[in-house]
């Protein structure tokens, strides 16, 4: 019992130690303190000492975070050494003293020797000026432009079925009727073979018709008139029609199969058909 409680105590104090290490490293990183304030060897000894005690995922996470923070401090230390070895290194305190002592005039005069301002022109060129004139001439007055963007008032009313067919919002044939026609066609095309390659069924003379057939075929599968057989390695998809519609919803886990029906795929299929 005593051993257990002393172990627990050790883990608790270890957690506190790690928290303190993380906070210390964080403040060095964020507040730009001297990274050599942290004795890396000491910190590693502490992390190593408590490592065998860790059991839970949270404790291992804390341990990993402490190591990660320590690595950032080591990077800062290495940057510091590199900066000191460059010609730009100056003792910040010494430089600060010099900046405080020098007058504004001396500072400005001195800066002018090291300052080489960018030379740039923002002047308009004859070419852009003529382009601007052309644009201005073609620009409609504001009152005319604003009339164009104004909303048009229209009377509310119901659209007739004929109008919807005309606008291709709904099809002339009822959807189910069309679906069943396609199902019959599928069974007819499959014949005794049981299945048919996907493209051989959906492929049509025009791309638009192919897309329409692919769209309807997706409903054949969703509504249980047919199913897909996917050969992933060969990248082949077959359609297998059912003799009676089966509803798989709720009985089996339903998966979505994305099938690309791009113009390129359609052209490739057409060419292969021609060959």
The first and second tokens of residue 197, run together, are 């390659």
CB of 94 to another protein, least distance (A): 8
- Interface pick for another protein out of 4, 121, 142, 158 (rule CB under 8 A): 121
* Termini Cα distance of the chain: 84
Which residues have CB under 8 Å from 41's CB, separation 6+? none
Confirm or reject binding of residue 127 to another protein (CB under 8 A).
no
Say whether residue 104 binds another protein (CB under 8 A). Answer: yes
Alpha-carbon span 199 to 260, nearest angstrom: 11
Residue 90 interacts with another protein (CB under 8 A): yes or no = yes
Number of residues written out for the chain:
275
Distances (CA, A) of 65 to 18, 44, 192: 9, 13, 65
- For the chain, the farthest-separated pair of C-alpha atoms sits apart, in whole angstroms, at 100
Contact 237, 184 (CB under 8 A): no
Q: Which of 5, 52, 85, 92 binds another protein (CB under 8 A)?
A: 92
Does residue number 114 form part of the binding site for another protein (CB under 8 A)? yes
Q: What three-state secondary structure class fits 224?
A: coil
Beta carbon of residue 40, minimum distance to another protein (angstroms, whole number): 19
254 contributes a contact to another protein by CB under 8 A? no
Give me the least distance between CB of 125 and another protein, in Å please.
Answer: 8
Number of residues that bind another protein (CB under 8 A): 39
Give me the residues that bind another protein (CB under 8 A), please: 30-32, 79-80, 83, 87-88, 90-92, 95-96, 98-102, 104-123, 125
């Amino acid at each position: 019992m005593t051993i257990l409680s002393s172990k627990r105590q050790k883990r608790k104090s270890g957690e506190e130690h790690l928290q303190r290490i993380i906070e210390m490293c964080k403040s060095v990183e964020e507040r730009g303190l001297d990274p050599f304030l942290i004795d890396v060897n000491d910190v590693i000894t502490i992390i190593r000492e408590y490592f065998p005690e860790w059991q839970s995922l949270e404790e291992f996470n804390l341990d990993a975070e402490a190591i990660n923070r320590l690595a950032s401090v080591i990077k800062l230390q290495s940057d510091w050494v590199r900066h000191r070895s460059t010609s730009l290194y100056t003792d910040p305190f010494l430089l600060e003293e010099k900046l405080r002592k020098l007058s504004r005039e001396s500072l400005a005069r001195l800066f002018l020797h090291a300052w080489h301002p960018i030379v740039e022109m923002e002047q308009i060129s004859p070419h852009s000026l003529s382009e601007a004139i052309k644009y201005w001439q073609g620009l409609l007055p504001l009152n005319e432009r604003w009339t164009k963007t104004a909303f048009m008032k229209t009377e509310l009313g119901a659209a007739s079925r004929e109008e919807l067919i005309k606008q291709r919002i709904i099809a002339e044939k009822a959807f189910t009727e069309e679906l069943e026609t396609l199902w019959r066609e599928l069974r007819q095309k499959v014949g005794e073979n049981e299945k048919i390659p996907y493209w051989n069924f959906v492929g049509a003379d025009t791309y638009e018709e192919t897309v329409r057939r692919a769209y309807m075929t997706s409903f054949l599968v969703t509504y249980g008139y047919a199913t897909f057989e996917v050969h992933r390695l060969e990248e082949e998809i077959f359609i297998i029609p059912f003799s009676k519609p089966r509803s798989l919803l709720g009985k089996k886990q339903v998966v979505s199969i994305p099938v690309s029906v791009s113009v390129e795929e359609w052209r490739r299929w057409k060419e292969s058909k021609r060959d």
